[in-house]
């Protein structure tokens, strides 16, 4: 009996996140585009939000099994694809989604662009909350709409909060048609409370504003937190909200382009999903659905281990900065593998900070001002990398800071 029980217990796999994988020549933006984007390629790339970890092997196997078939004909996702998403949302976020409320989109930013083009007209106003993911501004202005900023407030204890009073004033006086919500918020990794999300929903419904919620980092909650989808924040949020998500950041598969959208409001959903369908915007690609289904059905163990490793990386960065780089403050994220670094304590202008990172530390980080004027003095660092890479980067940064501060 004891041996039978032993055979029934499947040992937990141990994934190796310390493995350093050479990505040169793989066509990855993170490394192969360094010279084009940063002017040099001798940089440690800790910028764009994909991780340097080997993909969950169950995803690789599912893709390999399908690709090994000699015919790549027209394909459609089966019921198991859709149920993998709804089952994941139920299990990880306690969020119930019916099949008819769910559709595929070829990327979260594309999903935002589709919503802008369907629900608004040229010249209409769209609210964003800087510092925030920079494609929001690009896709709004690129489609001839007008950005209305509702900047977040940074408190003395280095926490970002929404300025809800100002948001209501914008809704009442500027009459925007749409707000793009970042939940959790990128770049600072903020988890919005249920109360805050409910208030956004209440204000949006009161003033007739559609809320498009980017929740691509929702699976990457840290410290035992549980993600709160905007659409779960009450009937007001359901009435005005569109939710966008994906396994891309969660399982390090952005190249598979496997995003999805949820709309609860039936009248809004019927019109919008019909438009997506007739324009073939909601038709998935074969490898997208295969990779996503494998991730949601078989990747949870990998994800939990990855999050534990990333939390260790975050602790490592925060401790290193506190002990060895005076003047650098790191905002501890509540979600994601991205870190928001505050260099203002070095008393350098923003351009000097960015030049130091590039020329002295040989680091490729995201310039804080790309997230808005509120990012002056900040940079974003991707901690989704082996700890040895992170240690090398921080030691280079320490040396660069010492050199520059002595010179000034």
pLDDT digits (tens, 9 = 90+) for 200-245: 999 999 999 999 999 999 999 999 999 999 999 999 999 999 999 9
User: Alpha carbon 343 to chain centroid distance?
Assistant: 23
Domain boundary among 257, 273, 297: 297
Distance between CA atoms of residues 182 and 213, nearest Å: 6
Domain co-membership, 82 together with 162: yes
pLDDT at 7: 46
Query: What is the per-residue pLDDT for 5?
Result: 41
Regarding whether 320 and 346 lie in a shared domain, the answer is yes
- Domain membership of residue 63 (yes or no) is no
- Position 136 scores a pLDDT of 98
- pLDDT confidence of residue 10: 57
Indicate whether 248 and 158 sit together in one domain: yes
Q: Of 234, 262, 297, which one is at a domain's C-terminal end? A: 297
- Asked, for residue 4, whether it belongs to a domain, the answer is no
Residue 1's pLDDT is 42
What tokens were used for 311? 């939390």
Identify any residues that bridge with 262 across adjacent strands, giving them in sequence order.
102, 243
* Predicted pLDDT of residue 405: 86
Per the domain annotation, does 61 fall within a domain? no
Tokens of 394: 């921080």
Q: What is the CATH number of the domain that holds 105?
A: 3.40.640.10
Whether 287 and 307 share a structural domain: no
- Range of the structural domain that residue 134 is part of: 69-297
184 and 92 in one domain? yes
Q: What's the residue count for the chain?
A: 408
pLDDT of residue 61: 98
Whole-prediction pTM value? 0.95
Q: What is the pLDDT of residue 11?
A: 61
User: What pLDDT, in 10s, does the model give residues 64-99?
Assistant: 999 999 999 999 899 999 999 999 999 999 999 999
Looking at the fold, whether 335 and 207 belong to one and the same domain comes out as no
Residues 229 and 320 both lie in one domain: no
Weakly modelled stretches of the chain, pLDDT under 50: 1-8
């Amino acid at each position: 009996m004891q041996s039978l029980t032993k055979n029934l217990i499947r040992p937990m796999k141990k994934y190796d996140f310390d493995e350093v994988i050479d990505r040169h020549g793989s066509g990855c933006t993170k490394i192969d585009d360094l010279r084009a984007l940063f002017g040099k390629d001798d940089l440690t790339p800790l910028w764009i939000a994909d991780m340097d970890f080997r993909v969950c092997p169950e995803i690789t196997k599912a893709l390999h099994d399908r690709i090994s078939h000699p015919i790549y004909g027209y394909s459609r996702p089966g019921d198991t694809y859709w149920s993998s998403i709804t089952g994941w949302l139920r299990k990880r976020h306690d969020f119930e989604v019916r099949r008819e409320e769910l559709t595929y989109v070829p990327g979260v930013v594309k999903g935002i662009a589709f919503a802008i083009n369907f629900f608004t007209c040229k010249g209409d106003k769209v609210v964003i909350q800087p510092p925030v993911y920079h494609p929001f501004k690009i896709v709004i202005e690129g489609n001839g709409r007008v950005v209305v900023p509702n900047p977040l407030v940074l408190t003395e204890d280095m926490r970002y909060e929404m300025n809800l009073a100002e948001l209501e004033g914008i809704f009442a006086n500027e009459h925007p048609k749409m707000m793009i919500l970042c939940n959790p918020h990128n770049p600072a990794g903020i988890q919005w409370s249920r109360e805050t999300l409910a208030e956004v929903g209440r204000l949006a419904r009161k003033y007739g504003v559609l809320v498009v919620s980017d929740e691509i980092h929702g699976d990457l909650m840290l410290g035992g937190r549980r993600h709160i989808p905007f659409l779960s924040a009450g009937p007001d949020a359901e009435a005005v909200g569109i939710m966008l998500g994906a396994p891309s950041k969660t399982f390090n598969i952005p190249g598979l382009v496997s995003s999805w959208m949820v709309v609860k409001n039936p009248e809004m959903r019927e019109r919008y999903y019909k438009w997506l369908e007739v324009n073939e915007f909601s038709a998935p690609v074969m490898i997208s659905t295969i990779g996503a289904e494998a991730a949601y059905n078989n990747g949870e163990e990998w994800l939990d281990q990855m999050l534990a490793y990333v939390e260790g990386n975050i602790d490592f960065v925060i401790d290193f900065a506190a002990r060895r780089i005076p003047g650098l403050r790191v905002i501890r994220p509540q979600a994601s593998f991205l870190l928001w670094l505050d260099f203002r304590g070095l008393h350098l202008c923003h351009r000097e900070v960015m030049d130091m990172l590039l020329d002295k530390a040989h680091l490729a980080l995201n310039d804080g001002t790309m997230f808005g004027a509120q990012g002056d003095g900040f940079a974003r660092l991707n901690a989704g990398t082996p700890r040895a890479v992170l240690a090398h980067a921080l030691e280079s940064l320490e040396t660069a800071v010492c050199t520059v501060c002595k010179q000034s």
